[in-house]
Structure 1
C-alpha cells in the first residue's frame, strides 16, 4: 500500500488564550484563523477533522514533493501571520482576546505512513498507527511554539537531507520516545519576520475639518468596554436601532476597521464600512461610513466613549455629511436633518435602556 501524507497545523497558545480572554471574541479569532488555514490549502489536502485549535489534513496514497510540501508550509505561515497582522492593525476592540491575538503562533507536524479509513456519519476518517504517531508528535520538547516538524519517515520519502537549509528553513535533528518507541524527526523554527506577508486593505482614517452636523451625548450605567461591544457587535444592533428590517454582516468576524455591514430598510440596502478618526487619549471610538443614503454623498457616524467610573461612561454620537449640490443641501436642511436628529436620540436612548437592562 502506498504511503499517505498526514499534516496537522496547530495554533500554539490556544488553551491559555481561551482561558484568559473574553470567550466570544477568542472563539471568533480562532475560527477566523482556522478558516484562513483551510483557505491556504494549495496542495488539495483532505480535511479529516477540525480538532479545536488544529486541523487534521491528509493526502491518501500521495505525498507531494519536498518543494511542494515546503511551499505549502510557507503559504500557511504567510496566511496565518498576515491575518494576525490584520487583526492587530485594524482592531477597534480593547478586550483581552483582540489584544492578545497577535501573540498566537503556529506549529505544523507532517508525517507519513499507511492509513485505514472509517466512515463516520458519512464522513471518511483516517485511522491507524501513523495517525496516532502524527498526533503524538505534537507533544515534544522543541523549545518553540512556531515550527515545522517533519518525521524521518516522511523526510526519507521526500529524499530530504536532514540538514536542509533555505531562506526560511534551517532544519535540525531530534527524536522523542512514545510508548517505548523512538520517532526521529527534523524540525525548523520559522522566523515570521522572514515571511513575505500579503498586503491587506488599510483602514480608512477620516479627517474632518468641521464641526459635526449633529451631536448627542448620553450617560450609560455600564462600562465603556461593554457598551463598545454592544455598539460594534451587529448581533445586537437590532435591539437598539429600530426601523431596520434586518442587518446583514459576517457573523464569524469580529468587527474591525474595514468591516462591512448592510442595513435593509423597506427592501433598500444601505452599505456601511467601519472607519475611524483621531480621538482624545483615554477615549474609544467606533465609526461608520456609507455612500448609499440619498441625497447625501457621504455620511459618517461616530460613537465616542469615555469612562466615568468602572461601571459608567458617556457615549457621544456625531454625524457628518458631505453633499456637493446646493439643492441637496436645502433638502437635507428642510427635511432630512430633523429626521436624523430624532433617530439619533432614539437610538442612543434605546442603547442606554438595552445596555442597562
Structure 2
C-alpha cells in the first residue's frame, strides 16, 4: 500500500438528502448530475477526482499543499460553476415538478484538509483511505451556522502561507470534538458575498408576438400537471400525436431553446420550447414550430387550468410567427391537425 501526503478537497451540495427524498427521483437525479458535471468541468486537471459520493466530489492533490490563495481560487471557481449552472437550470427549465422547482434551495460548501493517505487498489479502482480521509469527512458535520462556507483545517493551514488576497473575507476560528478522533480545529469563511458575485447566465430569448387568434378548448379528465407533462415530453409525443413517427433532438434535455426535430408522415417540423409559467392552478406553455415544407413559422400556446385533482381545462392555439400571412388552405390543414391532436391528447391522458 502506497502512502502519500495530499490535499483533500470536498465540495459538498447542501440540501441534497432532502432534495432527493422529497422530489421526483428521475428529475432530481438528472439535476444533481448536471450540477456535478459543471463542477468537474471547472476543476479541470488541477485535482484528481477520487470519487463522486452522491452529493459531494472527493478531490485529491498529491504533494505539498497549495497556497491559501490557490485553494480559495479553485473553490470559488467550482462555486461559480455550480451556481451558474443552477441559475441556468432555473431559468431554462420548462418542468414544474418539485425537483425542478427545488433546485433554488441547493447550496455548496467546501472542506479542505491535508495529511497522509494510503492508496488501496481494488480491481481496476484506486481508493484513498486513512485517518485524514476520515477527519475530512467528519468535518462535513460541524457547528457552522450556514450552508455555504469554505472550511480549512488547522492541519492544512500549517502547510500553507496566508495571503492578502484572502484578507477581504471574514475568517472565523472553531473546533469540533469527534469520537475516536478528538479535537479538530479549523478556520472558515462564509460564502454569502461570493454568491452575490456569481456571473448570471444569459437570459432565455422567450419573447414572441401575440395576436387575437382564438383557442381551441376542451376538458380532460386528468390532473392538469399530468396533462402538461405529456405535452412537455416532446420525444414521447410519438406515442399519441397523430402522424408523428419519431422525434430526434440535439441534446438529451428538454428546456427553453432545445431543438426537437419531429418526423411526421408527410412533413418535418422543428419544435423549440419558448416559455413556461406555472402556478398551483394553471400552467402556460409556448413553443415555436418551423415547417420547412410549408415555409411557415408558428408559435403554439397551451394553457392547462386545474378544475379539481382529476380534471382540467385544456386550451391550445397557433399563431403566425412570420411576416407573410398563412395561406387559407394551409391554415385549414393546421386547424384540422390541431383538432386531431387535442382529441388524441384527451384520449391518451384519460386512459
- Scaled by the length of structure 1, the TM-score of the pair is 0.85
1:68–1:261 distance in 2 versus 1, CA, 3 Å: farther
The CA distance in 2 between the partners of 1:250 and 1:277, in whole Å, is: 19
The CA distance in 1 between the partners of 2:279 and 2:209, in whole Å, is: 15
After superposition, the CA RMSD in angstroms is: 3.0
Question: Paired residue for 1:188?
Answer: 189
Question: Paired residue for 2:15?
Answer: 13
2:93/2:256 contact within 8 Å kept = yes
The CA distance in 2 between the partners of 1:292 and 1:115, in whole Å, is: 60
Secondary structure of 1:38 counterpart:
helix
The CA distance in 1 between the partners of 2:118 and 2:186, in whole Å, is: 23
Secondary structure of 1:26 counterpart:
helix
The CA distance in 2 between the partners of 1:110 and 1:203, in whole Å, is: 36
Question: Paired residue for 1:356?
Answer: 350
1:87/1:102 contact within 8 Å kept = no
- Displacement of 1:199 in angstroms is 3.5
Secondary structure of 2:159 counterpart:
helix
1:61–1:260 distance in 2 versus 1, CA, 3 Å: farther
- Displacement of 1:140 in angstroms is 1.2
Question: Paired residue for 1:226?
Answer: 226
Q: How does 1:1-357 map to 2 (within 5 A)?
A: 3-42=5-44, 44-61=46-63, 63-160=65-162, 165-167=166-168, 169-178=169-178, 179-192=180-193, 194-212=195-213, 215-241=215-241, 242-248=243-249, 250-251=251-252, 253=253, 255-264=254-263, 270-276=269-275, 282-291=281-290, 293-325=292-324, 329-330=326-327, 333-334=328-329, 336-357=330-351
Structure 2 unpaired stretches of 5+: none
- Displacement of 1:147 in angstroms is 0.8
1:256/1:274 contact within 8 Å kept = yes
For structure 1, which segment, 134-143 or 88-97, has the greater mean C-alpha deviation from structure 2 after superposition? Answer: 88-97
The CA distance in 2 between the partners of 1:174 and 1:355, in whole Å, is: 57
- Displacement of 1:237 in angstroms is 2.5
- Scaled by the length of structure 2, the TM-score of the pair is 0.86
- Displacement of 1:249 in angstroms is 5.4
1:45/1:57 contact within 8 Å kept = yes
Number of positions where the alignment pairs a residue of Structure 1 with one of Structure 2: 347
- Displacement of 1:190 in angstroms is 0.5
For structure 1, which segment, 221-230 or 201-210, has the greater mean C-alpha deviation from structure 2 after superposition? Answer: 201-210
The CA distance in 2 between the partners of 1:122 and 1:268, in whole Å, is: 50
Secondary structure of 1:34 counterpart:
helix
The CA distance in 2 between the partners of 1:36 and 1:325, in whole Å, is: 43
1:351–1:150 distance in 2 versus 1, CA, 3 Å: same
